[in-house]
Amino acid sequence: MRNILILLCATSILASDETPRVIIIGAGASGIAAAAKLFRNGIDNVTILEAEDRIGGRVYSVEMEEYDVDLGAQWVHGEGKNVVYEMAWPFHLLSHCLGPNDGSIFFKTAFKALARTVGSEKEAAILMRRNSIKFFLSTGEKMNDKTGRSLITFAMNLTAEWPGVENLRTGSVGEYFDRKINDYFNKHEDIPEDLKIPLVKMVHRAHMAENGAEDLYQASAKADGDYFSDGDQQLNWKTGTYGIILDLLMRKYPDPEEELPIVNSTLFNKKVSRIEYKGDGPVKVKTSDGDVYMADYVIFTPSLGVLKANHKNLFVPHLPPSKINAIEHIGMGHVGKIYLYYDEPWWTKDLSNFYRFLIWTEDDEKELASDPERRWMLSVYTVNRIEWKPKLICLWLTGPNIREMELLPKELVRDQSLWLLDKFFGKFYNLTEPTEMLRTHWNSNDNFLGTYSWMSLDAEAHNATVSDLAEPIMQRDGRTPAIMFAGEATSDFYSTVHGAIGSGWREAERIIDIKKRSSHWTQG
Ligand X SMILES: *[C@@H]1O[C@H](CO)[C@@H](O)[C@H](O)[C@H]1NC(C)=O
Residues within the interface to ligand FAD (CB under 6 A): 25-31, 49-52, 57-59, 72-75, 77, 271-272, 301-303, 306, 335, 337, 440, 442, 447-448, 451-452, 487-488, 495-497, 500
CB of 34 to ligand FAD, least distance (A): 9
- Decide whether 198 or 502 has the Cβ nearer to ligand FAD: 502
Q: How far apart are the first and last CA of the chain?
A: 16
- Decide whether 30 or 95 has the Cβ nearer to ligand FAD: 30
38, burial (CB in 10 Å: exposed 0-12, middle 13-18, buried 19+): buried
- Decide whether 198 or 212 has the Cβ nearer to ligand FAD: 212
What does the alpha-carbon distance between residue 498 and residue 386 come to, in Å, rounded to a whole number? Answer: 21
Contact set for ligand X, span 416-445 (CB under 6 A): 429-430
- Decide whether 59 or 358 has the Cβ nearer to ligand FAD: 59
CB of 33 to ligand X, least distance (A): 17
186 binds ligand X (CB under 6 A): no
268 binds ligand X (CB under 6 A): no
Contact set for ligand X, span 21-60 (CB under 6 A): 21, 44-45
φ/ψ of 409, rounded to 5, equals: -60, 145
- Decide whether 29 or 199 has the Cβ nearer to ligand FAD: 29
Out of ligand X, ligand FAD, none, what residue 75 binds, judged by CB under 5 to 8 A for its kind, is ligand FAD
| From candidates 12, 109, 144, 153, binder to ligand X by CB under 6 A | 153
281, burial (CB in 10 Å: exposed 0-12, middle 13-18, buried 19+): middle
Out of ligand X, ligand FAD, none, what residue 27 binds, judged by CB under 5 to 8 A for its kind, is ligand FAD
CB of 282 to ligand X, least distance (A): 9
Report the candidate in 44, 49, 41, 43 with the shortest Cα–Cα distance to residue 23: 49
CB of 259 to ligand X, least distance (A): 4
Residue 391: how many CA atoms within 13 Å on its side-chain side? Answer: 15
- Decide whether 105 or 160 has the Cβ nearer to ligand X: 160
Sign of CA dihedral 99, 495, 391, 415: negative
For residues 128 and 97, the answer to whether their CB atoms sit within 8 Å is yes
What does the alpha-carbon distance between residue 178 and residue 192 come to, in Å, rounded to a whole number? Answer: 17
**Which uninterrupted H or E stretch holds 391?**
strand 389-398
367 binds ligand X (CB under 6 A): no
Q: Give SS3 for 364.
A: helix
Kindly indicate which of the ranges 126-134, 159-167, 365-373, 411-419 contains the residues binding ligand X, using the contact rule CB under 6 A: 159-167
Q: Give SS3 for 117.
A: helix
- Decide whether 416 or 451 has the Cβ nearer to ligand FAD: 451
For residues 48 and 316, the answer to whether their CB atoms sit within 8 Å is no
CB of 449 to ligand FAD, least distance (A): 9
What are the distances in angstroms from CA 7 to CA 172, 280, 368, 474? 47, 14, 64, 14
Pairing label, strands 380-386, 355-359: antiparallel
17 binds ligand X (CB under 6 A): no
Out of ligand X, ligand FAD, none, what residue 306 binds, judged by CB under 5 to 8 A for its kind, is ligand FAD
For residues 36 and 59, the answer to whether their CB atoms sit within 8 Å is no
Out of ligand X, ligand FAD, none, what residue 399 binds, judged by CB under 5 to 8 A for its kind, is none
- Decide whether 341 or 425 has the Cβ nearer to ligand FAD: 341
- Decide whether 182 or 269 has the Cβ nearer to ligand FAD: 269
Helices (H), 284-409: 304-314, 321-329, 362-369, 402-407
Out of ligand FAD, ligand X, none, what residue 120 binds, judged by CB under 5 to 8 A for its kind, is none
Size of the site for ligand X (CB under 6 A): 16
Kindly indicate which of the ranges 32-40, 135-143, 257-265, 353-361 contains the residues binding ligand X, using the contact rule CB under 6 A: 257-265
For the range 426-430, what are the long-range contacts, defined as Cβ-Cβ under 8 Å and sequence gap of 24 or more?
Answer: 426/140, 427/140, 427/141, 428/136, 428/142, 429/346, 429/347, 429/350, 430/346
Out of ligand FAD, ligand X, none, what residue 500 binds, judged by CB under 5 to 8 A for its kind, is ligand FAD
- Name the DSSP class of 404: H
Contact set for ligand X, span 328-357 (CB under 6 A): none
CB of 60 to ligand FAD, least distance (A): 8
CB of 37 to ligand X, least distance (A): 16
φ/ψ of 167, rounded to 5, equals: -95, 10
Out of ligand X, ligand FAD, none, what residue 259 binds, judged by CB under 5 to 8 A for its kind, is ligand X
467 binds ligand X (CB under 6 A): no
For residues 332 and 449, the answer to whether their CB atoms sit within 8 Å is yes
- Decide whether 260 or 306 has the Cβ nearer to ligand FAD: 306
For residues 75 and 231, the answer to whether their CB atoms sit within 8 Å is no
The footprint of ligand X (CB under 6 A) covers: 19, 21, 44-45, 153, 157, 160-161, 163, 259, 261, 264, 429-430, 462-463
